[in-house]
Structure 1
Amino acid sequence: MRKILHILTFGILIYSCSSSKVVNIKTKYFDENNLKISKSKFQRILSTNKLLDIPGDSIHHKKLTLREKRGKITNRVLLESLLEKETNQELDATKPIVIIYYPGKDHCNSSGSTIKESRKIWFKQLEDGINQVAQTKPIYLYKDNDGLEKYNGVLTWYKDPEETVERLFFQYHYPCSSFVVISKDGNYISYFGEFGKEYVWKATQIMNK
């Protein structure tokens, strides 16, 4: 009996020690260049709204990332083909491809109380502006459709074909939704996280040159 008690006591001590180690692990903070910074500096930079907070290389790491990225893809033709197959519509190879990307339900895109009519107006204005600057329409893609039911009767969303758009442009789950505009030559501007219509119009105008 005494031996059993000793074993139980020893087990409880080990569990307590391991539990305290987990609790005491401090979150580490990194800037957009993956350099360690203080929590106060991290929060100060985040408050400027020029960068986003994303997961780091560990569950105890937080990292900043720029909200806009520019680059070039090597095979726009393949992307066009995948999008045409998924959406059952033909794309104009001379026009920019404008993609609004929904990563799945999160605290950002599931909050708020915007009514359906307001959403219709917002996206109608978005599409009108894109049409004015580039005579094209955006394509709405999702990774996970959980939470998209609020767009019923407003927008038609399509599955990201073979997760191609995520792989090319959206490395992380950025909050709310993001967008990317790809020029006819494969150059692109991507913007991460919640955005205004004006950002999409400006990017589309630049990529239409």
Structure 2
Amino acid sequence: MNRQWLIFVMCLFSLPVFSQQKHVYLNDDLEYISAKKFNDYRKSNNHYILTYELDSVVMHVQVQRVKRGKITLEQLAVIRTELSGFSGQSVPEKNIIVVNYHHGKDPCNDSPEDSSYYALIKDYLKKIQKKKDVSQFFVYNERDGIKDYGKKISWLEDKNKTLRDLFFPLQYPCGSFVLIDAEGNYYVQKGEYSNYYILDILRDKSNIINESSHIKKGETNRTPRRVEVRAIRQ
């Protein structure tokens, strides 16, 4: 089920119906699954729940916190071209692309402008900019909330929603990131994360494909296990 179909289904179920709410369960690919399979996912530290409550249906989505996969070289070329065009800087074909992704306003950034965020990531930026084989970008889906991170971060808009549609079909709490290597292999974390996770992964490029040590230790288990959401933003 793609994002557009999910939005259609949610709008359909949001029509007033005088009956008990129905519970619907989806996996990370937005495909329908049984309640039993959904509950099996709950036992994994690599999953958390997003809940969309409408008038006649409660839609539960099991989000896979960390996901690895591979996009086509054509898709990678589109991403590279867009990031280069939007930023005005070249993205060498052999470089690993790192994107810190802002979905939109949520409780993590719903506060007055806070320059302390830049102070927190200053060390991250200093270290990642030293890596000549890495091209890093801050990208937003919706502008709401980015001012709360301060004025020293250069944000790019995901104008064509390429990154959103490939990696981030829903709004995950507290941002996300994706790393993509020259072959199209990717590593995505959906939801709250530390920038130091990114540096850890980059210390050994094989982590993009293979399970890395900080995942084994469960250090990514920071995202709330249950998040109540009222609507999907288009």
The alignment's TM-score, normalised by the length of structure 2, stands at: 0.66
Cα displacement (A) at 1:101: 0.8
Aligned AA for 1:81? T
Match of 2:34 in 1: 35
Match of 1:4 in 2: none
1:97 matched to 2:93: no
Match of 1:10 in 2: none
Q: CA RMSD in A?
A: 3.3
Match of 2:215 in 1: none
Cα displacement (A) at 1:78: 2.2
Matches of 2:91 and 2:151, distance apart in 1: 23
Instruction: Calculate percent identity across the aligned residue pairs.
Output: 25
Cα pair distance change 1:57/1:20, threshold 3 Å: closer
Gaps of 5+ in 1: 1-17
Match of 1:140 in 2: 138
Match of 1:68 in 2: 66
Match of 1:194 in 2: 192
Matches of 2:138 and 2:182, distance apart in 1: 19
> Between Structure 1 and Structure 2, how many residues are aligned?
185
Matches of 1:124 and 1:92, distance apart in 2: 24
Q: 1:176 aligns to what SS in structure 2?
A: coil
Point out the more displaced range, 49-58 or 99-108.
49-58
Aligned AA for 1:173? Q
Q: 2:161 aligns to what SS in structure 1?
A: helix
Point out the more displaced range, 82-91 or 135-144.
135-144
Aligned AA for 1:154? K
Matches of 2:84 and 2:166, distance apart in 1: 17
- Match among 40, 45, 49 for residue 42 of structure 2: 45
Q: 1:99 aligns to what SS in structure 2?
A: strand
Matches of 2:202 and 2:114, distance apart in 1: 27
Aligned AA for 1:83? L
Q: 1:60 aligns to what SS in structure 2?
A: strand
C-alpha contact (below 8 Å) 1:127/1:137 kept by paired residues: no
The alignment's TM-score, normalised by the length of structure 1, stands at: 0.73
C-alpha contact (below 8 Å) 2:113/2:150 kept by paired residues: no
Cα pair distance change 1:84/1:45, threshold 3 Å: same
Q: 1:184 aligns to what SS in structure 2?
A: coil
Aligned AA for 2:178? V
| Aligned counterparts, 1:130-169, within 5 A | 130-131=128-129, 135-169=133-167
